[in-house]
A and B are shown apart, each in its own frame.
Chain A
């Protein structure tokens, strides 16, 4: 009897923890929408910065603007991956693994936020090589998460 109770507690405790974390359907929809739009904005800004930094004479103003957009978005990103905003709730490329290994995911998200701040700081200066280096670092943090926690684009 006591063993059965113990076993039941073992099974039910994580479920209870998840249940506590459940957010309302309205909140989930809003978060997932913000997340999608935010990621789109980051992607657009990254492309703009990348095009400048690959050129012979980068337009530093464009790089600064992009770095500012990415920096602003990363601050919001902490609230984008609450439990209950996964593919079982609505269509999203966020993989369930995010919530299966939250420690790793949170660490990667943190790396991204730090790298975005570093890129923003470099962009505020005038050293194009420093901007390129911090941009490469930032790209690495995007890729670290996307390779592991983002499902492929759906077929067109």
Chain B
């Protein structure tokens, strides 16, 4: 008997993020810089939504419920953690991935391409030299994201070898959970709608060139 563990918004964010990271790499590698920029803006929208959903969404999506201190991580390491959703060590992985992607989006927003033909929507808020440096860092930072993605996949494979399947629950949203563990409290659908609207609104504002809509 399985129980709900990941709600639909959390799963959508997860798989869209994975797909858009791949698409961002592909589009910029094959000179579709315009698509690359829109992919980054889509990722920005996902990040804003996930941040909001992490405050007011389902219990397993909320940062307050899964981001834990070193003591909880140590207890998890000793094997005495029991719960639903992200374990205390996995929480660090979640934070690292979202943090690294947020840095990458921030760098991309102020970057310009080496020929001066494409620029992130906020590039004109900084100098041309800063935009060039941001692009160099943006390229370099991708290696950090690749490293974290590799770690993420390695952890999933490790659990798989020990008999725990993590990928299927991220698709179906359900997993076998001990009956004595408090089940997931689902978030309200209309709160998810508000989060989507706010995320699109902020992303739209960034696309316009932010503060007074560019300069």
Contact = CB atoms under 8 A, between A and B. Distances in A.
Interface of A: 43-44, 46-51, 54-56, 139, 142-143, 146-147, 153, 155-156
Given A51-B124, A156-B139, A143 B117 contact: yes
Contact of B117 (A142, A153, A155): A142
B136 interface: yes
B52 interface: no
A51 B31 CA distance: 21
Nearest to B140: A156
B2 interface: no
Nearest to B112: A47
A43 B31 contact: no
B147 interface: no
Contact of A55 (B112, B114, B214): B214
Interface in B80-127: 112, 114-117, 119, 123-124
B214 A48 contact: no
12 contacts: A44-B116, A50-B117, A51-B123, A55-B124, A55-B214, A55-B215, A56-B215, A139-B115, A143-B115, A153-B139, A155-B139, A156-B139
Given A48-B128, A50-B119, A51-B124, A43 B114 contact: yes
A54 B31 contact: no
Interface size class of B (residues with CB under 8 A): 10 to 19
Contact of B116 (A47, A55, A56): A47
B31 A143 contact: yes
Contact of A147 (B31, B123, B124): B31
B116 A43 contact: yes
A47 B214 contact: no
B-side interface mostly: mixed
Interface of B: 31, 112, 114-117, 119, 123-124, 128, 131, 136, 139-140, 214-215
A147 B140 CA distance: 21
A142 B115 contact: yes
Contacts of B128: 44, 47-48, 51
Given A143-B117, A147-B31, A54 B214 contact: yes
Contact of A46 (B117, B124, B139, B214): B117
A43 B112 CA distance: 11
A54 B116 contact: no
A50 B116 contact: yes
B6 to A, nearest CB: 37
A46 B116 contact: yes
A39 to B, nearest CB: 9
A156 B112 contact: no
Closest 3 CB pairs of A and B: A47-B116, A46-B116, A139-B117
A153 B124 CA distance: 24
Nearest to A143: B117
B138 to A, nearest CB: 11
A46 B115 contact: yes
Contacts of A44: 116, 128
